[in-house]
Structure 1
Amino acid sequence: MDRRSFLRLTGGGVIAAATATTLPGCSSTLPPEAIAAWQGPGNEPDVRRWILAHAILAPHSHNLQSWLVDLGVPDEITLFIDRSRLLPETDPFSRQMMMSQGTFLELLDQAARQKGLRADITLFPEGVFAPTTVDARPTARVRLVADASVQADPLFAHVFTRRTNREAYEARLPPAEALQAIAASTAGAAWRTGFVTTEQADAMAQHRRIAKEAWRIELTTPRTVLESFKVLRVGPKEIAQHRDGISLNDPMVRAITALGLFDRTVAPAPDDQATTGQINEFNAHIDGTPAFYWLVTEGNDRVTQVNAGRAWVRAQLAATAQGLSMQPISQALQEYPEVAVPYREIHEQVGAPAPRFTVQMWARLGFAPTIQPSPRRGLDAHIVKA
């Protein structure tokens, strides 16, 4: 499902035998060190480090965690984008990366409020990035100011339990009050959000069709699927070493990799079982999804993208508070040429024709099983100057 279960091979007996003989007692549980950041900062005395220990739990495209922070000035945090952690094939203009800068800033702001601090955030203090590239200038400069009037954000209570859940969702509909709470989490700002559910049969059919086609395109376009392959972390050793990217710790996948049957430098053919099996699994999950969420902005400048990221993580936290799960289905929102038709179609489907409007986020929504958190690299990996 969604870039994580790329392997569907015949010869199951051979693979099962390999699993039994080469990986005895192996588990799909992630290594403890890979998810240690989710235990929180404890009694960290440095308030900036305490705040940032929460910010690094923000969702990020492909879990690349492209956040760098400079703490060289007292009471300030300067945020940069790590240009070694971009997705030039599927995110050629770094729109999704800018949203991921926004998710970080939102959790930073919420954590600061817990300490009675106002986070004065100045976006692009040395100038805004060009529309199609990012550079070495900072994304944001944050000044922390003690302020007795600051109020804690109730969404902060769900930072440690928020997950991007890629499992199959239950068929039951999210209750109306839950949808209202998610919408209210970002109300009053310069965007609009919406939902489509199985009660709207025709609209739901179109959403499902567009999602499936965009996923098929990404999975059968060699350079885009290889971009995901490059950040796959297979097995506990790789996961613990990198603590980022797309983790695959399933015993079967580990056995296939150990046998040298998974070449991550070669894209599978469109009719390969690895491809068709993955498409079928994705389609089944899409068909079983009871609701979709979308977030639209008018315009698509860099500031708008960052603020859309802030809105997205707020919506996801609000869903968590309601016992619901969300998963971005970003394939149709990407700007590489092959996906142009689904891109146009999803914009039209939600009444937001491009280029005037931009669908910044589109996600599955529903009840789902409990899952583990995603790996995190730890705070020190993000600090460039203390």
Structure 2
Amino acid sequence: MNRRQWLRLCASGMLVATTLPLTGCSTALPAEAIAAWQPPSAKLPLREWVLAHAILAPNAHNLQSWLVNLDTPDTIWLRLDPQRLLPATDPYHRQLVMSQGTFLELLAIAAQERGYRAEITPFPAGEFGQEVGDTPIARVRLLADASVRPDPLFAQILQRHTNRSLYLPQIPTAAALAAIRASVAGLPVEVGMVVAGEPSIAEHRRIAQQAWEIELSTPAPLLESYRVLRVGPDEIAAHRDGISLNTPLIRLLTATGLFDRSRPSPPESAAVRGQVDEFNAKIASTQAFFWLITLDNRRATQLAAGRAYVRAQLAATAQGLVMHPLQQALQEYPEQSGPYAAIRQLLGVHEAAHTVQMWARLGYAPPVEPSPRRGLAAHLRPA
């Protein structure tokens, strides 16, 4: 598609947006796609109740790669769904293991709310390598414990949403940053944050922008994202996962066959350049960055990093802040080697084993809708 066609379609999209009935081109997500964000009934059995909170965890590409088995009484077995991997952008499954950690942390917080302790045994059959297979990620036993106290972060589970929009020109307060840092105390992670006005902020922005452009210009990662794009209410409601796009323009482009998800858009195309410009504006609006570093990159450490990230995001939510992961520069495919090295250098990570597990935008922004969820039944599997 050339620029003239793109501009013509943009104009058509705006016309459609202003002339079609609101029910036909609303950008709101279908109700069934976000129904899981309603508080679960207190009448649910305990394991289902805590899992109804766990499936709201942030996760890579919103794949929701969680498989749960409840055949053993009072026990939850968690596995990584081998059908929901990201071989191009996450070739070593690091991000997806972190996503298992976010799930486990919300499960544990929800259990505490009911007076139970989640006894989590990571990788009871040993850590897996490159092949995921059927290796259990964790065995969880829910134990009644009179000493358990509710976690204040529980109140934020239904409020926490990843916010990818433009951020407001307001620097997070020192108290808010301290609360985020305190939320991960005791976990094996090093927390870092930087705010606008500090010398390194420009380099954070530059690396984020470069990494995003590389992702959009590299066919395999771009196609991997295209495969999980859900365009329009019908696709969003049918899948309830992936990356939801529901604007009139993208729906028009898809309906007319001018947005072909079977092949990558050329780097010089108006579609890619438009996404680059939009992302650059978002990065320019970012007033703070957040990161997590670990001393090694074992699977158990990746789980712990995921637990730390979701706690930090819940704490940020409690402070009126939002987060948006910038994982592109942390991804281990060859084309990202430049940004990968640059962010490690910027954050002072020089030991080979030390790993930047998370890097994210942090700031204030208008609220956004939650991301779709497939519902608990979609994750339950027999042994």
Q: Is the 8 A contact 1:344 1:354 kept in 2?
A: no
TM-score, normalising length: structure 1: 0.95
CA–CA distance in 2 between the matches of 1:287 and 1:182?
A: 23
1:15 counterpart residue number: 13
The answer as to 2:370 corresponding to 1:368 is: no
Shift in Å, 1:252: 1.5
What SS does structure 1 have at the residue aligned with 2:121? strand
CA–CA distance in 2 between the matches of 1:218 and 1:51?
A: 36
Kindly provide the amino acid, as one letter, of the partner of residue 339 in structure 1.
Q
Return 5+ residue gaps in structure 1 as ranges: 1-7
What SS does structure 1 have at the residue aligned with 2:7? coil
> Residue 350 of structure 1 is aligned with which of 347, 352, 355?
347
1:112 counterpart residue number: 111
Shift in Å, 1:136: 0.9
Return 5+ residue gaps in structure 2 as ranges: none
2:165 counterpart residue number: 167
What SS does structure 2 have at the residue aligned with 1:118? strand
CA–CA distance in 2 between the matches of 1:301 and 1:221?
A: 28
Kindly provide the amino acid, as one letter, of the partner of residue 178 in structure 1.
A
CA–CA distance in 2 between the matches of 1:269 and 1:106?
A: 40
2:196 counterpart residue number: 198
Shift in Å, 1:14: 3.2
What SS does structure 1 have at the residue aligned with 2:84? coil
- Residue-pair matches, total: 377
What SS does structure 2 have at the residue aligned with 1:69? strand
Shift in Å, 1:22: 6.7
The answer as to 2:258 corresponding to 1:261 is: yes
Q: Is the 8 A contact 1:347 1:354 kept in 2?
A: no
> Residue 311 of structure 2 is aligned with which of 297, 311, 314?
314
Shift in Å, 1:19: 4.8
Do the aligned partners of residues 354 and 285 (structure 1) sit closer, same or farther apart at CA in structure 2, a change above 3 Å counting?
A: farther
CA–CA distance in 2 between the matches of 1:60 and 1:137?
A: 19
Q: Is the 8 A contact 2:30 2:233 kept in 1?
A: yes
Q: Is the 8 A contact 1:94 1:133 kept in 2?
A: no
1:335 counterpart residue number: 332
CA–CA distance in 2 between the matches of 1:15 and 1:164?
A: 27
Shift in Å, 1:24: 5.9
CA–CA distance in 2 between the matches of 1:15 and 1:161?
A: 32
CA–CA distance in 2 between the matches of 1:21 and 1:66?
A: 39
> Residue 212 of structure 2 is aligned with which of 212, 215, 232?
215
The answer as to 2:171 corresponding to 1:179 is: no
Shift in Å, 1:341: 1.2
For residues 280-302 of structure 1, the C-alpha deviation after alignment (integer angstroms, 9 at most, x for no partner) is 11111111100000100011010
What SS does structure 2 have at the residue aligned with 1:385? coil
Percent identity (aligned): 56
Q: Is the 8 A contact 1:169 1:367 kept in 2?
A: yes
Shift in Å, 1:44: 3.1
Kindly provide the amino acid, as one letter, of the partner of residue 187 in structure 2.
A
Shift in Å, 1:23: 6.8
CA–CA distance in 2 between the matches of 1:346 and 1:307?
A: 21
Kindly provide the amino acid, as one letter, of the partner of residue 81 in structure 1.
L
1:97 counterpart residue number: 96
